[in-house]
Structure 1
Amino acid sequence: MLALRPVQLTDLPQLQQLARDSLVGVTSLPDDTAQLRDKILASCASFDSEAQSNGQENYFFVLEDLAEQRLRGCSEILATAGFSEPFYSLRNRMFTSTSRELNIQHGVPALSLCHDLSGHTLLRGFHVDAALVGSAQAQMLSRARLLFIAAHAKRFADAVITEIVGYSDENGQSPFWDALGKHFFDLPYVEAERLCGLQSRSFLAELMPHYPIYVPMLPQSAQDCIGKVHPDGQEAFDILEREGFETNSYVDLFDAGPTLYARTSNIHSIAHSQTAVARLSATRTSGGQYLVSNDLLLGYRAIVAELDWLPGQPVPLDAQMLEALHVKDGSQVRLIAL
């Protein structure tokens, strides 16, 4: 059985292996022991805090195979993007120029450096074992974060965003970076993303042009990357799109990958998850697949379970499921159909 739980310091060696296997562009999962250790400690402090509003907390989760004690993925929630430094992105909007004398009005798409998205809650760090892509467990890795937000709403903002990794080829070359960012940094795309993971995206963003970049002046290969999802990032995109997230006019600073946005209260798993009492069942029931979690903080757990359940009724869970969720017969659980 696989279960999602908060990261622990003892996970560091396995977490670093996940970082090595993760997609280029997932800058929140650096392959660096010291950085990952600091991230784990910060997450532990966040789960242990008594926060009553969204601040600088980050909540890092791992997906564990309980039988093998092996990590199969990870995901994260940053309570407030841009809390301690601006959260930079590129705003993609029409720039309209007008000549009254010639009676001409013309619109040109332009990219502008901004930090409009600072203050929103940010989903990041999604990485799942390749063998689980397309599975219910991959859905859990992403969506269980949303059940956590539902259970602890005061800790998060009224809107949630996530950046999906943009296009790069099999050699790690990003046409968008090569056409834009590379002119301001003598760095390949992979190295720029690595530095973002190890340090901060702000120091790179501040060297980017602060005036509009007219899209038609970019090579066609770079234009084609704007809002384009990397094939290996499609899983993360599709899961959240089904949750009600939508693309907007913002793209990633380095690879022009799309940004997804949703009002917190409108997200499917938050708006439609239900709480019910867990009941010990001697046998596993057949029926639909559900994502089931407890509503704890530091002891948060989530699993996928096949249940024959009706709203308003107790949730039948066998002893193994109860143990994986760290709950007892009669405890409250939260669930949503997959």
Structure 2
Amino acid sequence: MLVMRPVRLADLPNVQQLAVDSPVGVTSLPDNTDRLRERILASEASFAGEVRFHGEESYLFVLEDTDSGSLVGCSGIVASAGFSEPFYSFRNETFVHASRELSVHNKVHVLSLCHDLTGHSLLTGFYIKPELVAGRFAELNSRGRLLFIASHPDRFADVLVTEIVGYSDDANESPFWNGVGRNFFNISYPEAEELSSRKSRTFLAEVMPHYPLYVPLLSGGAQEAMASVHPRAQASFDIFMREGFESDRYIDIFDGGPTLQARTAGIRSIARSSEANVLVGNTIHSTRSFLVINGEVSDFRAVVAELDWEPGAPATLTPEIADALAVGEGASVRLVAL
């Protein structure tokens, strides 16, 4: 069975292997032992802490195959993007150039460096084994954290943001980076991402142009790559779009991938989730698949379960599912249909 749970320091070797396997651009999942250890320790402290307002907390979840003990995926949440430093993005804007005398009225697409999204909660660090990308466990790995937010809203902001890895080719060449960032840093896209994962994106962003970039002046490849999604990130992008995120306002400053945002209360998994009391039964005539969480913090668990459940009724779980969620008869769970 695959169970989503908070990361533990003992998971470090397995998490680092996930980082090695993840595509270039997932800088929140660096292939660096010290950085990953820091992130895991910060996550453990965040899950253990008493929180009444979102701040510097960060949460990292892993998807564990309980039969083998191996990890097959991970995903995270940063409670406040840019808590200790600005969170930079490129904002899509339109400038109007007009002259009444010349009868000219042109609208020009520009990119403006901004930190509009600083302070919003950030969904980050998503990765799942390729063989599971197209299935329901990718939904568990991504949407399970949305149910965690639904159960603990005080820990998070009113707006959620996520950066989707932008397009790069098989040689890890990013047309957007080559057309923009490389003019200010004479390093390759993988080198830029590796550098920012070890240190910080902010010091690179601060050397980027702070005046608007006129998109028509960029190379054709850079323009085509704007808001384009890396093939290995397409499944994650599709999940967020079904959840109601919007994709047309911001893009990543490195690879040009789309930066999505949504009002937390309006996200599908959060708005449509329900709480139910638990009954434990051996025989269940299931009718639908559900994401189910136990609603805890440090002992958080989430699974996919086949249930015969209707809103307002108790949720009957098999002993196996109840054990995986660490709940018993009479406990409360939160669930939403797949």
Normalising to structure 2: TM-score of the pair?
0.98
Which segment drifts farther, 277-286 or 122-131? 277-286
Aligned to 1:328: 328
CA contact (8 A) 2:178 2:189 kept: yes
Mapped partners of 1:105, 1:127: distance in 2: 46
**Paired letter, 2:41:** L
CA contact (8 A) 1:40 1:60 kept: yes
Mapped partners of 1:114, 1:260: distance in 2: 15
**Paired letter, 1:303:** V
**Paired letter, 2:21:** D
CA-based RMSD of the aligned residues comes to: 0.9
Aligned to 1:223: 223
Aligned to 1:31: 31
Aligned to 1:240: 240
Aligned to 2:269: 269
Structure 1 residue ranges, 4+ long, deviating more than 3 angstroms after superposition: none
Deviation at 1:190, TM superposition (A): 0.5
**Paired letter, 1:175:** P
Sequence identity percentage = 55
Mapped partners of 1:308, 1:151: distance in 2: 22
Gaps of 5+ in 2: none
Aligned residues: 338
Q: Deviations over 1:38-61 (max 9, x none)?
A: 000000000111111110111100
Mapped partners of 1:37, 1:11: distance in 2: 10
Deviation at 1:209, TM superposition (A): 0.8
**Paired letter, 1:161:** V
SS of equivalent to 1:224: helix
CA contact (8 A) 1:285 1:316 kept: no
Q: Deviations over 1:194-242 (max 9, x none)?
A: 1111111001000101111111111111100011111111011001111
Is 1:80 equivalent to 2:80 in the alignment?
A: yes
Mapped partners of 2:250, 2:138: distance in 1: 26
Mapped partners of 1:311, 1:150: distance in 2: 17
**Paired letter, 1:219:** S
Aligned to 2:251: 251
Normalising to structure 1: TM-score of the pair?
0.98
Aligned to 1:64: 64
Mapped partners of 2:313, 2:266: distance in 1: 25
SS of equivalent to 2:46: helix
Is 1:126 equivalent to 2:126 in the alignment?
A: yes
Mapped partners of 1:304, 1:82: distance in 2: 33
Map 1:165-314; keep pairs closer than 5 Å. Answer: 165-314=165-314
CA contact (8 A) 1:292 1:336 kept: yes
CA contact (8 A) 1:98 1:105 kept: yes
Gaps of 5+ in 1: none
